[in-house]
Structure 1
């Protein structure tokens, strides 16, 4: 009964929210190419190779696409396996085509979760195993898997504090979806307990760790390359503060932190990497109001003329390289009112000292590990963040110890990809 109620209600609710959705994709841009694949149209799906097993992997956005890279490579190394990728966002789609074109037999947008579209895509891809990453539990998608007898696996499963509270209010809804889920590979013991609380059978949930921790950063930039990149971006000299995947309100804090640092170090610079590049106009308006006396530039507008005080990297897929240029990073979406946090994994893996707010519920176990290793400083609000940033900007020894701690944390926390890949492969043999 549940799936039929969902099917009946989906279309009117979808039509009701369609104007907002269309406005959203227009604002984000990049959806014109191949958008018909969301309806199962225009898909180029090759016939399955004789004797091969096809795995369909869905990851929502650019961040999830980067996160699953180690798992993709681990699975693709098995000659029996063909991988078909789907994504939801235009930035994730562009990245998937750029990075994984040789690993995957096909790449398209994830179908809208309405019976005709979902069933059409399932018929075309014809997977032997279906995988979703992190929080992707779509009723029609999981129902199609159960109907066809295809194992459906949730990898890197996680539930933030806010998501879990919301989900518990709809526990019956999620219990039904989880009944169609063959296995949940959770990021932590806490996540495992939360999926069980939502109704997943305990034997179907295992804590395999966060695959984001297993990330391998390539390339690692040498000193000459770093200096060259900084010079090209107008950030040649001085202490460089990085705003990593910032959200509204955090850019203002970073500008104030830059001014405070410059009272002691006039050559200090600020590099802002917003989580959503389409916020460039909003950020520009803020800079014109609060930093009109400073030289700022947006990376999407080409090479700057001369030296800068602030660079906004409103581009995609460059955060790992830009992190290597910084002396100290602030991890975004972590100050009030934000509660979930952006990933601090790359900073830890690269030994970049970091500051973040207390709102890191999406990365609870990672946060604890980084703090235990002395790799990060946690603050409660913007004022405390500025104080910590200024203090660390003047203490190279403290930053060096944080860097060592981050590298040690990363080296000791790996292994989730191997455990998750082993679990996925076991389903192919059943």
Structure 2
């Protein structure tokens, strides 16, 4: 494995050196951050706990972890990093006041990683869910820094890849002192590729450790006014949607709106840079859409609202009578079903929930939501809930036993 790491670092270093002249470092702030050149502005730290998350979903998973770390280890500095720009933006909104610094994760280039470790000076490195980088992990190991994987999950697609390269995977996970997994299924998948049994434990999904704040009437009124939603509107919120899903949702809701013109659709694409694309799709389908950033408070006459902002979907779910969670009608693996369900809202999702197997199974078992296979089933499900309001309300109420009695066994 040492030879593979040397080869990996050589290839990475060669690529960086070849491409570096094409990036103006004085003006290219993103490249400076990726190289770790700006770390001196936030450090150095002493005896820190370095927590890293890939993007938005992983950052939100880390919020309760940060709270516990602050409570249990007040003498340690906590440094938080994320890989994507969206992840950094969400981290600055949700954890910046709780940590010493929020930094972009440098690229897995030996010089950048060395610089990051010198600046952050961690006693412990904590990786949330995924985003495994060989150069970083090997450097952490060489410096004898404690290394933990928390809230780990192994999707079927990832598991298939791990089985093909089990030798590499065993070595990579060997860098961790402990691997704390969301479910026994995730644990069994790691054991199946030969990861040391003593390091792998099932501890549950830390998403359930977040404090679930109900929506008070004042907050609801604020959001309705801000988004131009009228009293009496039926709000359907489709969150974390992917390419291909918006067309299905729009065509489904167009037919539903003929029977229920008071329906108001809110779409939050998983990647906000797709908001303009979704806006055009909605126009092509005959709607009068609006982007959230383009509307004045209450001054909008749109039948479809597209969220092009970060960090707001989690609260806007609280307006919904019916919710749909994306990444599930297309083969992506789904997204967090807890956010809409925590507001007592029925949750609809497609067949592809490989990233949230236990969560989706629990919600179905407790009848807090339904799985639909396609647009036709989605339409039937929404119509059934609109026609039977008592069913709609009772389905939402059934979720809370799932939230508070989550079983990791």
TM-score (ref. length: structure 1):
0.87
Pairing of 1:238-249 with structure 2 (within 5 A): 238-249=233-244
Structure 1 unpaired stretches of 5+: 23-30, 417-430
Per-residue deviation, 1:137? 1.5
Counterpart of 1:295 in structure 2 is: 288
Match 1:216 to one of 211, 227, 238 = 211
Counterpart of 1:232 in structure 2 is: 226
Per-residue deviation, 1:73? 0.4
Pairing of 1:252-267 with structure 2 (within 5 A): 252-267=247-262
106 and 232 in structure 1: CA distance in 2 versus 1, 3 angstrom threshold: closer
114 and 60 in structure 1: CA distance in 2 versus 1, 3 angstrom threshold: same
Structure 2 unpaired stretches of 5+: none
Per-residue deviation, 1:306? 3.6
Pairing of 1:52-201 with structure 2 (within 5 A): 53-78=47-72, 79-201=74-196
Per-residue deviation, 1:81? 2.4
Q: 1:158–1:186: 8 Å Cα contact kept in structure 2?
A: yes
Counterpart of 1:386 in structure 2 is: 379
Counterpart of 2:338 in structure 1 is: 345
Pairing of 1:33-48 with structure 2 (within 5 A): 35-43=31-39, 44-48=41-45
319 and 414 in structure 1: CA distance in 2 versus 1, 3 angstrom threshold: farther
Q: 1:235–1:308: 8 Å Cα contact kept in structure 2?
A: no
> Root-mean-square deviation (CA), in Å?
2.3
**How far apart, in 2, do the equivalents of 1:164 and 1:415 lie?**
20
Ranked by relative contact order (alpha carbons within 8 Å, sequence separation 6 or more), the top structure is: 1
TM-score (ref. length: structure 2):
0.91
**How far apart, in 1, do the equivalents of 2:143 and 2:218 lie?**
55
**In terms of mean alpha carbon deviation, does 233-242 or 312-321 score higher?**
233-242
Q: 2:275–2:307: 8 Å Cα contact kept in structure 1?
A: no
Match 2:355 to one of 350, 362, 378 = 362
Counterpart of 1:332 in structure 2 is: 326
Aligned length: 399
Q: 2:329–2:350: 8 Å Cα contact kept in structure 1?
A: yes
Per-residue deviation, 1:117? 1.1
Counterpart of 2:304 in structure 1 is: 310
**How far apart, in 1, do the equivalents of 2:55 and 2:364 lie?**
28
Per-residue deviation, 1:228? 3.8
Counterpart of 1:320 in structure 2 is: 314
SS in structure 1 opposite 2:319?
A: coil
